[in-house]
Amino acid sequence: MAQGSREIEALIELMARLPGLGPRSARRAVLHLVKKRALLLGPLAEAMRIVHETARECVSCGNIGTAELCDICRSEARGNGEICVVQDVADLWAMERTGIFRGRYHVLGGTLSALDAIGPDDLRIPRLAERVAAERVHEVILALGATVDGQTTAHYIAERLAGGPAVTVLAQGVPVGGELDFLDDGTIGAAMRARRSL
């Protein structure tokens, strides 16, 4: 195959590591970018540089943003006493896309796992307990995966918060844990509306 140059090949190799892009689509994308240097490649490079320099985790919920507190944690209106607990930032963004949930989030960063020796302190669980008290939370909605580890984590959190806010889970049959993103908004909305006590 005809090669462009070492630099362009290096860019294709990096792009091919992105989720959803293989070597073929990476090559096509890079070719497109190079053809649209002024319109697309320049602005993209600049946007990437800025995000590279500014992206960080929200100190409160673990969402990815560009400030110490993310927009959702900063918003007074979102402090409605509900916290939706998710495994991954992708789940948060998927839920947010639906617009159905008007409270705040808490990103655990994974699930408890005996096999991988992941305990509560390896996740953002202690911080969740702090927030429940500090933000006058009356409902914690657990949107965790239907896996054994996801369920173990849900029950651990429910026990840890016992005597505090109501703890609910999304309707069953929702494959969450970085997978919420693959569901359509209607399904996520229905699961949220049909949540039940744990």
- List interacting residues with Zn ion (CB under 5 A): 58, 60-61, 63, 70, 73
CB 88, min distance to Zn ion, A: 14
Nearest residue (CB) to Zn ion, 58 versus 154: 58
User: DSSP of 106-126, one letter per residue?
Assistant: EE-SS--BTTTTB-GGGTTHH
Tell me how far apart the terminal alpha carbons of the chain are, to the nearest angstrom: 58
CB 69, min distance to Zn ion, A: 6
Nearest residue (CB) to Zn ion, 49 versus 136: 136
How far apart (Å, rounded) are the C-alpha atoms in residues 63 and 154?
Answer: 19
How far apart (Å, rounded) are the C-alpha atoms in residues 50 and 161?
Answer: 39
CB 153, min distance to Zn ion, A: 20
Nearest residue (CB) to Zn ion, 62 versus 177: 62
How far apart (Å, rounded) are the C-alpha atoms in residues 165 and 176?
Answer: 23
CB 18, min distance to Zn ion, A: 25
Nearest residue (CB) to Zn ion, 103 versus 177: 103
Helix count and strand count (H, E) for the chain: 8, 7
